[in-house]
Amino acid sequence: MMLAFCSFYNKIRNLRQFDFVFLHQRKSMLKNYLSLIKFSHTIFALPFALIGFCLAISQETYAFSWLKLLGVILCMVFARSAAMAFNRYIDKDVDTANPRTASVREIPNGSIKAKSALLFVAINSLFFMGASYLLNTLCFMLSPIALLVILGYSYTKRFTALCHLVLGLGLSLSPIGAYLAVTAEFDLLPLLFSMVVLFWVSGFDIIYALQDESFDKEYKLHSIPVLLGKKKALLLSRVLHFITAGLIIFIGWDYFTESIVFWIASALFIALLLNQHRLVKPDDLSKVNLAFFTNNGIASVLFGILIIVELLFL
């Protein structure tokens, strides 16, 4: 009897150990995939997608719908996951050769296989098209074009220094895409917000690319820092952010003239744009990540929250 009990106890203990290992492996795999797609960077475009959604439902013609909101968020997550994973797949040899990325990116360090990443891209692309189909016919018809832009970006650094603008274009689809999800109609205001995203993202991506100027030259990759050098690249980034600020002011002047909340949101966003240029210098790139992620993440979230409050509650 005692032997039988001990045998049963050992089986239970081994099963619990197996379950613990299995759960640990699954948790580690999830962590790797979230790292692969830089899930935290969703913070850049998602607030602008929500602005596009709220622009639509703030009109009397369109009512709030949880299903529409869920559809917009799912489209954002699936599209961005496909784009980032594809970028990592296409750049696997580049990332392996680059000392900055070789040990931290998932395909070079072996935590995710290249074929698994490509399968992940295919699954997310299909889910994106499926979610867009559930939104409306126009979104579904435009979904292949959106995929072409966001996946095609990964190739652009191989032949043009304008790759930063292509990345900006990909993220700029979020406000107009969310607006179309509700209305199935184009309009000027969400397009203007998309232009804000285009120039804002292009500008800060140039700053981020400063880190790899020497490597990109050696590997014959194209970027604004490679084409112009650090000093002129930073100058161009400032010009793009000046255009961003100008667009925001134009939107306020034409659509939100009497909105104190909009102007507070704009002042904070533009101040944070200026701050990232204070942080990064041609001879000092130590604060690039602070300027790139923290600064722009805070700018996007604050701007998004305040504009949504203005649209829905004031």
Domain at 257, CATH number:
1.10.357.140
Pairwise CA distance, residues 79 & 73, whole Å: 10
Q: What angle do CA 166, 152, 203 make, to 5 degrees?
A: 20
Q: How far is the C-alpha of 28 from the C-alpha of 35, rounded, in Å?
A: 10
Domain count, the chain: 1
Distance CA(273)–CA(77), nearest Å, equals: 25
Least confident range from 97-111, 138-152, 174-188: namely 97-111
In angstroms, the CA 288 to CA 304 distance is 23
Inform me whether the pLDDT recorded for 1 exceeds 60: no
12 found inside a domain? no
Band of residue 106 on the pLDDT scale cut at 50, 70, 90? confident
Tell me, what DSSP letter sits at residue 221?
Answer: -
Residue 303 confidence (pLDDT) above 60: yes
Using DSSP's 3-state secondary structure scheme, residue 284 falls into strand
135-167: burial string, b at 16+ Cβ within 10 Å, e else: bbeebeeebeebbebbbebbebbeeebbbbbbb
Task: Provide the residue range defining the domain that includes 79.
Answer: 42-181+190-313
Question: Is 4 within the bounds of a domain?
Answer: no
16 lies in some domain: no
Residue 275 to residue 267: CA distance in whole angstroms? 12
* Comparison of pLDDT for 236 and 4, the residue scoring more: 236
Say how many C-beta atoms besides its own lie within 10 A of residue 39's C-beta: 14
Q: Is residue 9 part of a domain?
A: no
Q: Is the residue at 32 inside a domain?
A: no
Alpha-carbon distances of 152 from 51, 146, 168, 202, 304, rounded to whole Å:
26, 10, 12, 16, 27
Structural tokens at position 305: 């929250």
Is 124 within a domain? yes
Model confidence at 28, in pLDDT bands (50, 70, 90)? Answer: low
Q: Which of 165, 134, 120, 128 is nearest to 147 (CA)?
A: 128
- Tell me how far apart the alpha carbons of residues 111 and 34 are, in angstroms, rounded to a whole number: 12
Decide if 286 is inside a domain: yes
Q: Is residue 3 part of a domain?
A: no
